[in-house]
Amino acid sequence: MADQLLETAVANWEPRFTVNGVEANDYARITKPLTAWGQWCQAWCDGAEEYLALAEIAKADGHAISAGEHFARAATYFHFGKFLFVHDMEQMRAAHTRAVSALTNALPFFVPPASRIEIPYGGAKIVGVLRRPNATERKWPTVILIPGLDSTKEEFRDVEKAFHKRGMATFAMDGPGQGEAEYDLRITPKWDEVGTAVLAKLLSLPDVDGERIGVWGVSLGGFYAARLAASDLPIVATIALAGPYNLGETWDRLNPLTKSAFMVRSHSHSIEEAKEKAFELTLEGHAQKIKKPLLVIMGKLDRLFPYTEAERLIAETTGPTKLILLERGNHGCANVIQEHRPYCADWMADQLSGEG
């Protein structure tokens, strides 16, 4: 009989996985034999290795598009193996290393083109993937994609596509407490400082239009996106998907895996210390500083953050805002992706065109 952590994982994560690069048949095939949470990471790593093998075959045959797709899917599978596997840091970090390697191998084959960007920050580095509809033709409106507590840049290929199809570049990043930065940089509410470093780099690139920068963030990344919107940075428009208003106030709703991940990625020594740090992640005193276009999306069936968090954010802003509450939406609204992902990309395209 499967243990409770595994049952929670299998029962709740399929929509998120399958709308972010995991084949539905693979999800069932990989998770069905499992009987304990401790088997999770290795099972997904084994699945990732299958796609690495396919990538190498495609690469050897000169099929660049297939090679890129297989490498990217392998990166996603490695990522989903490690994403909440914080009880075994050695196994988690090994899987993460493989995820980063697989994505790096995919970049030369991506259409549109992709490049790895490293940004010095806090004695360590922030890493992201920049993709432009065309490499050097002109300056592109650019959307910064921000992960949440357990997501990383390796999870964002399908999110990127929605923006690319509408003529926007994307920068999918790992910030403090996320992905490649999580080991050296702890979770922080000070995303004005993070954004300053990221924008300084992006605006120095010849094909990024510094007057047309947007931000999209999911889950805890939705909170970070809102904090960026409240800063004085040159951000035109922001999308906050399923983010909390105050993480500490929602702490008791979080499942044990999520609490443990926050403890590790906030560099806390105990769950009690982690809960104290969660209260630092608040929009109180910041929401009223949001004066530029903000789109907030929340699912009414979100188990982690109640939709009233979104209503509170909208009520306190002072700029043009729009709130979309999805009746059937779960956390991140992954189960109703068709109801918001195209709309988000259209909305952002309108804002960055100057015609919003």
Phi–psi pair at 4, nearest 5 degrees: -65, -40
Among 42, 33, 31, 26, which Cα is nearest to 9's? 31
Alpha carbons 202 and 197: distance in angstroms, whole number? 9
Task: Give me the half-sphere count of Cα atoms (radius 13 Å) on the Cβ side of residue 353.
Answer: 11
Among 249, 196, 251, 244, which Cα is nearest to 220's? 244
Please write down the HEC assignment for all residues of 259-284. Answer: HHHHHHHCCCCCHHHHHHHHCCCECC
What is the crossing angle of helices 256-265 and 271-278, to 10°? 80
Alpha carbons 142 and 164: distance in angstroms, whole number? 10
Which position among 151, 204, 219, 353 bears the catalytic label? 219
151 is catalytic: no
Alpha carbons 125 and 99: distance in angstroms, whole number? 18
Active site residues: 219
